[in-house]
Amino acid sequence: MKVLVIGGAGYIGSHVVKSLLNAGHKVTVFDNLSSGREENLFSNAGFFKGDILDPIGLAKAFQADDFEAVIHLAAFKAAGESMLKPEKYSVNNITGTINILNTMCEYDVKRIVFSSSAAVFGEPVRLPIDEDHPKNPENYYGFTKLEIERFLEWYDKLKGIKFAALRYFNAAGYDIDGEISGLEQSPANLLPVIMEAAVGMREKLQIFGNDYDTPDGTGVRDYVHVTDLAAGHVLALEYITEKNESLTVNLGSESGLSVMELLEEARKISGKEIPAQIVGRRPGDPAKLVASSALAKEKLGWTARYSDCETLIRTSWNVYKDRLNNLFE
């Protein structure tokens, strides 16, 4: 299939591109390289540099081929920042997605796979979290993802665009084959922060609270390996194409890891001390989030294969340890 991957130079996007290429799809990437990286581009995929806020640039990319599907991963994703700068998230995440959907209408592209998020659920009222769990986003970022899911439902009803909304839990790790190594810039997520502390790119890890109602007091999340997430996109695209029906599913590992567990495993695998300090809770952080991915298994035959603690850390360390070598060369 000819697929336009919007945000394909980013952390998750580059892994998705690799999985699509491996599955035999023809891929073109559209990315403004604001957080995506040129080094994440594949030589056997096309590339357009452009912004989803520029409908003319989008139209040019759509004119380049008879795309049969769009995968849309271009969004801001820092939950904390979204509470301080909702305008930025409204414009990029919501207006940007509307631009994409309208361009799809114009060029008659009928399939989209969209990066949604577990942030649509907010504070859990029951665990594990299945797709029917109440949706009460705790932050503006989660609100934008939920609103976009609702736009997708309307564009399906009114324009026949079939969608797969994939609610990622905590994406982590790096390409299982070690082929993708573009580091995220100024990351705020736990694992890259631990890695940056391990190689001295930052002074220490701040642990946001150790007084939660969890076994060791630190926050528990469902970390899902980015190679597993990427496989989910390919399966979802095949599903909406074959069944001609839309789909909203969770993608999680169904198991919880605490901040402390990840830190200890990272210390073990890296052999580094990794300085860490307990600080206060981060506002809006629930104690524990764990997915049910039963629906993804049932509909897509998807399960997480690489999302164990050791693989998450080892694949990340393989990328960051090279940075360590460069720092001291």
Kindly list the residues in this chain that would bind ligand UDP in the complex (CB under 6 A): 79, 170, 188-190, 193, 205-208, 219, 221, 259, 282, 285
Using DSSP's 3-state secondary structure scheme, residue 82 falls into helix
CA distance 39 to 107: 30
Q: Which residues pair with 6 in a beta bridge?
A: 30, 72
Give me the helices (H) in the chain, please: 11-22, 55-63, 79-84, 86-89, 96-106, 140-159, 190-199, 226-243, 259-270, 294-300, 309-327
Q: Which is nearer to ligand UDP, 1 or 276 (CB)?
A: 276
Pair 82, 141: CB distance under 8 Å: yes
**DSSP category for residue 92:** I
Q: Which is nearer to ligand UDP, 157 or 282 (CB)?
A: 282
- Least separation, in Å, of the C-beta of 289 and ligand UDP? 6
Q: Which is nearer to ligand UDP, 159 or 282 (CB)?
A: 282
Q: Which of 11, 89, 140, 141 is catalytic?
A: 141
- Least separation, in Å, of the C-beta of 197 and ligand UDP? 9
- Least separation, in Å, of the C-beta of 189 and ligand UDP? 3
Using DSSP's 3-state secondary structure scheme, residue 192 falls into helix
Residue whose Cβ sits closest to ligand UDP: 219
Q: Which is nearer to ligand UDP, 4 or 190 (CB)?
A: 190
Q: Which is nearer to ligand UDP, 152 or 224 (CB)?
A: 224
- Least separation, in Å, of the C-beta of 6 and ligand UDP? 22
- Least separation, in Å, of the C-beta of 246 and ligand UDP? 25
Known catalytic membership, residue 89: no
CA distances from 293 to 128, 168, 298 (A): 9, 10, 9
CA distance 329 to 320: 14
Pair 251, 166: CB distance under 8 Å: yes
CA distance 164 to 73: 12
Instruction: Report the helix count and the strand count for the chain, using DSSP H and E.
Output: 11, 13
**Known catalytic residues?**
141
